[in-house]
Structure 1
Amino acid sequence: MSSGTIFVLFFVLLALAIPISTTLGIVSIVPSLYNSSFPANAQYIIRAMFAGMDSFPLLAIPMFVLSGILMARGGVSKKLFNIFSYFIGDKTAGMPCAVIITCLFYGAISGSAPATVAAVGSMTIPILINLGYDKAFTTALVAVAGGLGVIIPPSIPFILYGMSTGTSVGELFIAGVIPGLLIGFLLMIYAYYYCKKNGEDKEKINASVKELRDKGFLTVLMDSSWALLTPVIILGSIYSGIASPTEAAVLSVIYALFISLFVYKTLKIKELWNIFIEAVRTFTPLLFIISAAIAFSRVLTLLQVPQTVASVITSTFSEKVAILLVINAFLLFVGMVMDTTPAILILSPMFMPIIQTIDVNPIHFGVIMVVNLAIGFVTPPVGVNLFVASSLTGVPVLSISKKAIPLTIMFLIALLCITFIPEISMILVS
């Protein structure tokens, strides 16, 4: 059975709305059903799924999921938003920019784009709407800025990429810092343009900022300092060599429990059981997707798909720039129709031979890949961030998509810069 037939079957099953984990399992077993001599039989697939789960870096994912839920329930995003609003809230586009910065910081806590949208959006969207900002624009802003959650470290997609390619997760985290800041900066430029063009209700905004400043700087700072320390503790422990990404994920859970239970006192011990259940329910479907995607990627390797794809692309395009543009276009399309997790686990091994041929650093390519797929969070038909944001405000997904187009263009500009200026990703990597 040809690899082309496998992929046709894969997309047909997705079009029929069959769950992605089931789809991956079916297409993994089909070659052995067609050809009994094919080595990837049912037993091989099951062993591959279990072997794929036996990964120390993978343990970081459920820990970051749990940490993100604890922080969300503990109201950490509101604490972050307050301190940024205090300084820039009364400036032009100050409040939208405060939302973007909050997404940057919360992304350094959760490692997940949908989690960032849910946690930051639930706290900040009502505030911006009450201040007179357009509901659809505010919802789109949070949906797009939430994509920073998978670029700013710690990042679940970076963990998956590192696991599937053998690259250092710690170095991937470091490489994601400046690209994330660049994207955030470009989003703020558009927010400034939008507010200059459409105006703001300065009376309401100034009153809101005044109320915050009347509390005093030290009060607001002390209230937000524990939340601000979260990314410092998580990332500092990794970059200093004190902890691995997996160990840092455990530290993040302990810290989240501490500040939510004993500092902010926004959680009660009796609520923890339901939070643990929510974390398990969030991660378990992801676990099935990961295990099935790992098995499918091994089947593709046996079918020599990575070598075939590399041969086709490099024989069709000879210039490095053209090859990178083709890969970006392909990843943008994949991000529109497939969830990030299977996309990374399936495509990373496929592209490794190509990037080695054109002399692209695997760390740099990991950032390129994750930024591409982050754009997929706000592009239909999958666009998970769009649906999460829509559930928060009731704004139709199509309306959010329209408002998100200029913000997505800024994301694309950043992607081109990151792709063709490797130093943006690699300058902090030793």
Structure 2
Amino acid sequence: MMIGSVFVVFVASLALGVPIAISLGFTALSASFFVPSLPADAVYIFRSMVTALDSYALLAIPLFILSGNIMAKGGISRKLFDFFSYFIGNKTAGLPIAAIVTCLFYGAISGSGPATVAAVGSMTIPLLLELGYDKKFVIPMIAVAGGLGVIIPPSIPFIVYGQSSGASVGDLFLAGILPGILIALCMIIYAYFYCKKKGEDKEKLEANTQALRAKGFWPMFKDSFWSLLTPVIILGGIYSGIVTPTEAANISVVYALIVSLFIYKTLKIKDLAAVMKATVNTAAPILLVVSIATVFGKVLTFMQAPQLISNAITGTFTTKVSILLIINAILLVVGMVMDTTPAILILTPIFMPIIQLIGVDPLHFGIIMVVNLAIGFVTPPIGINLFVASSLTNMSVMEIGKRAIPFIVAFLMALMLITFIPEISLFLLK
């Protein structure tokens, strides 16, 4: 009963438009009102907020955001897109496929869904529209493909999940590779059949491809080489055991600066102040939410919420398949109304006893959780990828969301495969 009252306070705060961090903090403080014996007074909460951020692993979050911002400003996404377009630009659905693959690769640079949409979308959307593709197809495609940014490592949600669950961040990064490729493949299949059915302006596509190929393969490859090398350096360093994910984040910042300032020369020293400001504007709210949501999770633990919710779910649903389906449904709904970071920090301690009971690997569950919440990036009312895509175009958020449904269905099909075939996530860890 008391737990229900706490959740009512939380939901009411969100409904009133109170920012998520303030809602979490206020709800955590209100818990001691409902349960006076609870050791969670204001002093404990504020002290725990500071302690929650005293984590070496969390340093990777602002560093990967900074690296992504540097590369976005340096125009890395354009070079990736041109490289893939060189090979398949004149094939059926070639350029849409190149855009999806670019999102896949750029996700291995930025670790952020909205950043991937902004960097890839600002470059590919105008080009694809100019080449005759329907904006009702192109814009939703980029918005949904941006969700790959949080599944392909390095991924900020994986770092947050690892912090909350105790799972290895490096293993989570490795586990995210095949699911990310599978989701991209499902989207590519839909894009192919859409373009096959609707048709394309072959003359424009051929002219665009010839213009790219006129530069020659080696000049184009040399121009794209440093962009393509980025995920190799970041992920190769982690998986070879040379560096930790946090150290890899440091390396990614240095590498991004060297490539953007001295090799491509697309970034100027004077631009760094704006890049740093954008990084702080993005990272500070995330870390604030991390600190408060961690405390909120501790308060729920004090109230034995994980055990009570676990008993309620396992008492109602008795098979592993049904439990996984209901968890997926809960995560999808939560992803529609809550940002990824607080959702992970709140729900991980609640679901962890359940997944341990039914024998699901915590690494596998981390992938399931992040894929579910990534779908929330493109579902109203939160759908931050929709807002980013809308800001790049004159298309409304709701219209993008409606037109994104086929791509979301492709995402959901991949999610079901990932959920019930754990080898997709765990194969590379063997």
Normalising by structure 1, we get a TM-score of 0.99
Give the C-alpha shift of residue 4 in structure 1: 1.0
C-alpha displacement of 1:317 = 1.0
Question: Which residue in the other structure is 1:188 paired with?
Answer: 188
Aligned counterparts of 1:9 and 1:368: Cα–Cα separation in 2 = 28
Separation (CA, whole Å) in 2 of partners of 1:121 and 1:335: 22
Distance 1:100 1:336 in 2: 23
SS in 2 for 1:427: helix
Aligned to 1:197: 197
Equivalent position of 2:300 in the other structure: 300
Q: Tell me, in whole angstroms, the C-alpha distance in 1 between the residues paired with 2:212 and 2:292.
A: 49
One-letter amino acid of the structure 2 residue matched with residue 136 of structure 1: K
Match of 2:56 in 1: 56
Question: What corresponds to 2:91 in structure 1?
Answer: 91
User: Structure 2: which amino acid aligns with 1:8?
Assistant: V
Q: Quick check: 95-104 or 288-297, which moved more?
A: 288-297
**Whole-Å Cα distance in 2 between the matches of residues 90 and 35 of structure 1?**
66
- Paired residue for 2:335? 335
The equivalent of 1:33 in structure 2 is 33
Task: Report matched runs for 1:114-263 at 5 Å.
Answer: 114-263=114-263
Q: CA deviation at 1:285?
A: 1.2
For structure 2, the 5+ residue unaligned runs are none
When the two chains are superposed, the root-mean-square deviation of aligned CA atoms in Å is 0.8
Provide the C-alpha distance between the structure 1 equivalents of 2:35 and 2:412, rounded to a whole number of angstroms.
43
Q: List structure 1 segments (4+ residues) > 6 angstroms apart after TM superposition.
A: none
Equivalent residue for 1:81?
A: 81
Per-residue displacement from partner, 1:137-173 (whole Å, max 9, x unpaired)?
Answer: 1110100000000000000000000000100000000
1:356-395 → structure 2 map (5 Å cutoff): 356-395=356-395
Distance 2:171 2:147 in 1: 20
Q: Is the 8 A contact 2:2 2:35 kept in 1?
A: no
- Give the CA deviation at 1:120: 0.4
CA distance in 1, matches of 2:37, 2:4: 19
Q: Give the C-alpha shift of residue 33 in structure 1.
A: 2.9
Aligned letter for 1:170? Answer: G
Instruction: Give the % identical residues.
Output: 63
* Code of the aligned partner of 2:121: G
User: Equivalent residue of 1:301, what SS?
Assistant: helix
Unaligned ranges ≥5, structure 1: none
| Deviates further, 290-299 or 278-287 | 278-287
Structure 2-normalised TM-score?
A: 0.99
Name the residue aligned to 1:423.
423
Q: Structure 2: how far apart are the matches of 1:381 and 1:271? A: 34
> Deviation at 1:286?
1.2
1:24 CA drift (Å): 0.4
Shift of residue 221 of structure 1? 0.5
User: CA deviation digits over 1:107-150, x for unaligned, max 9?
Assistant: 00000000000000001111101001111211101000000000
Determine the C-alpha separation between the residues in 2 that align with 1:147 and 1:235: 19
- Residues 32-66 of structure 1 deviation map (CA, whole Å, 9 limit, x = unaligned): 13443221110111111111101111000000000
Q: CA deviation at 1:277?
A: 1.5
| Inter-partner Cα distance in structure 2 for 1:196 and 1:8 | 49
* Alpha-carbon offset, residue 370 of structure 1: 0.3
Q: Could you list the per-position Cα deviations for residues 315-369 of structure 1 after superposition, in whole angstroms to 9, with x for gaps in the alignment?
A: 1111000000000000000001110000000000110100000000000000000
What amino acid is the match of 1:25?
G
How much does 1:394 deviate? 1.6
Q: Secondary structure at the match of 1:428?
A: helix
Q: Distance in 1 between matches of 2:398 and 2:279?
A: 30
> Which letter does structure 1 place at the counterpart of 2:311?
S
Q: Which amino acid aligns with 1:92?
A: T
Deviation of 1:97 (Å):
0.1
Aligned residue number for residue 276 of structure 1: 276
